[in-house]
Amino acid sequence: MQIDALLLSGLRAPFDAPESEIIKIAKTKMKRACIGAVGLHFRLYKKSFDARRKNAIMQVCTVLAYYDQPIEVSESALQKAGARPFVEELPVVTHGTQPLSARPLVVGMGPAGLFAALMLAEQGYRPVLIDRGDDVKARAAAAERFRTKGILDTESNIQFGAGGAGTFSDGKLVTRVNDPFCNYVLRRLCEFGAPEDILIKAKPHVGTDILRQVVDGILNRIASLGGSVRYRTRLFDYTLENGTVRAHTSTGEIEAGVLVLAIGHSARDTFETLMAHSLCLEPKPFSVGVRIEHLRCDIDRALYGDAAGHPALGPAEYALSDTTLERGVYTFCMCPGGEVVTAASEQGGVVVNGMSYHARDGRNSNAAVAVSVNPYDVGGNIRSAIDFQRNLEQAAYIAGGGEFYAPVQTVGDFLENKRWTEPSRILPTYGGGRVRTADLYTVLPPFITNTLAAGLRSFDRKLGGFAAPDAVLTGVETRTSSPLRILRGESRAAVGEDLVYPAGEGAGYAGGITSAAIDGLRTALAIIARFRQ
């Protein structure tokens, strides 16, 4: 077969070996397989760490080899080298013929909305992009006021505003979605300022500090191509009239040819509005739980042993799960060297999430410990699921004593079902210390607390020290994903309203920055394939 590039995977070397040594291993494999090397170039494609043996941590790499001109390589030679042909899939744009009555309207500036609007703008459709929150700078200021003073802006906060909820996170780009556009999305992020190492790391992350710059870059690009970017513009409702969408917003009416709903997982008032339409919505599983904090150095030692702190390894990460229990429990959005953040978007409720900067050099590491919740657990419908989340948030607010103080409990107290041990060696990072010790059993229902306790013990067997008595739990984490899905057909238009295009995490079709960006991108391609400019 003729190929011009191939991937060699499973290349192993000591964790601190330089890239040149990995390339040397790849060249040796090619030579042993008798694959021609004339005009051949190499670069590192992916890298991860195997730390199962702490005294012999290895890096496991994939190398991309590419030729100046295509060459003939037999399948047997590829098999002998442990290689496979490589073709990077890029979006194929096909323009439709149906006329658009007005410019596309994209609601929401999270990853799905940004990538949908970016593709539409680059193809000449001049989208209107709105969000109920502020631009990145003003939004960061609002989030800081909330963190330090407990002053919540319900329109602009960690959930709402430019970049969506992911802007104030670790900026993780890991996804379980096996989509060929993953690399394309990563490359676009690099184009707007993300570090180039996200193209190589098996667990790439950007960090909230750099991600904010990336979001600004994408928004500026959209505007430079004729798109309109409007902040503090909340969608109240919309009507469909003669092939046109009339969006009723807080800043006036907007006429649109199509409506992209990339509203995020926390737009509960918008969910309520959508339930009055002829859309088909269904409840879906979600998760709730708490944030757990350890000292970063303890997690590093638990995973890396004597190599902990080596610059080649960086801060340690974990991903733990247990599916042997009555319901699943897992860690989610692990933030090495990060902090627990104030993530509420409604008055009278406490919500937590995790965030870290690119350097990941904070004293603590944190992660959500989340328990799976099925619709039938909470009433079997969308409103009851939202009420369940909201009731937990309000219970956490009360347990924290009000003013958005968060309830905390040491792991030792939680597992023994007691309270009042004040955090000492490991200090909570939420709100700069705006926490109060509390009994999380009064906040969360038994089916959650029982599973959390079993999960903590299970994870401690897998990662020694995970359930250390002085580790700290902060409640509650309720916004892991959307509690609903807006059904759509093969064309990606909503079932029941074919000028409406649900997209991203809030619509129930993604679970993180990368997957949401891909979903927004594919939604834009579907619109372009249907409509002409």
Domain range list for the chain: 2-85, 105-283+485-530, 286-477
- Please tell me the CATH code under which domain 105-283+485-530 is placed: 3.50.50.60
CATH class of 2-85: alpha beta
Cα distance between the two ends of the chain = 40
User: Could you tell me the sign of the dihedral formed by the alpha carbons of 460, 513, 389, 489, in that order?
Assistant: negative
pLDDT for res 487: 98
Tokens linked to 349: 């409720």
pLDDT for res 297: 98
Q: Which residues of 122-137 are buried (b: 16+ CB within 10 A; e: fewer)?
A: ebebbbbbbbbbbbbe
Q: Which residues contact 38 (CB under 8 A, 6 or more apart)?
A: none
Q: From residue 459, how far is each of 201, 289, 308 by CA, in Å?
A: 25, 15, 20
pLDDT for res 4: 86
Amino acid letter for position 146 = F
Q: How far apart are CA 11 and CA 58, in angstroms?
A: 10
User: Could you tell me the sign of the dihedral formed by the alpha carbons of 333, 334, 335, 339, in that order?
Assistant: positive
Please tell me the total number of residues recorded for the chain in this structure.
Answer: 533
| Contact status, residue 66 vs residue 5, Cβ threshold 8 Å | yes
Query: 239 has which bridge partners?
Result: 246
Q: How far apart are CA 167 and CA 143, in angstroms?
A: 11
Preceding amide of 408 cis, omega within 30:
no
Q: How far apart are CA 29 and CA 33, in angstroms?
A: 6
Tokens linked to 521: 């991108």
Q: What's this model's pTM, rounded to 2 decimal places?
A: 0.95
Alpha helices in 476-532, H assignment, sequence order: 513-530
Q: From residue 375, how far is each of 378, 382, 484 by CA, in Å?
A: 6, 8, 9
Q: How far apart are CA 1 and CA 95, in angstroms?
A: 33
254: how many CB neighbours lie within 10 A of its CB? 22
Q: How far apart are CA 261 and CA 329, in angstroms?
A: 30
pLDDT for res 62: 96
The residue behind tokens 């979006």 is 91
Alpha helices in 407-467, H assignment, sequence order: 411-416, 446-462
DSSP-based three-state secondary structure for 274: helix
Q: Which residues contact 221 (CB under 8 A, 6 or more apart)?
A: 118, 121, 192
Grouped pLDDT means (10 residues each) for the chain, 533 residues: 88 96 93 80 94 95 90 83 87 96 98 98 98 97 96 97 94 83 95 96 93 97 98 98 96 98 97 96 97 98 96 96 94 96 98 96 98 96 97 98 98 92 97 96 97 98 97 97 96 97 96 95 98 92
- DSSP 8-state secondary structure symbol assigned to residue 481: S
Q: How far apart are CA 282 and CA 220, in angstroms?
A: 36
Q: From residue 480, how far is each of 265, 305, 384 by CA, in Å?
A: 8, 31, 17
Q: How far apart are CA 68 and CA 501, in angstroms?
A: 42
321: how many CB neighbours lie within 10 A of its CB? 15
pLDDT for res 191: 97
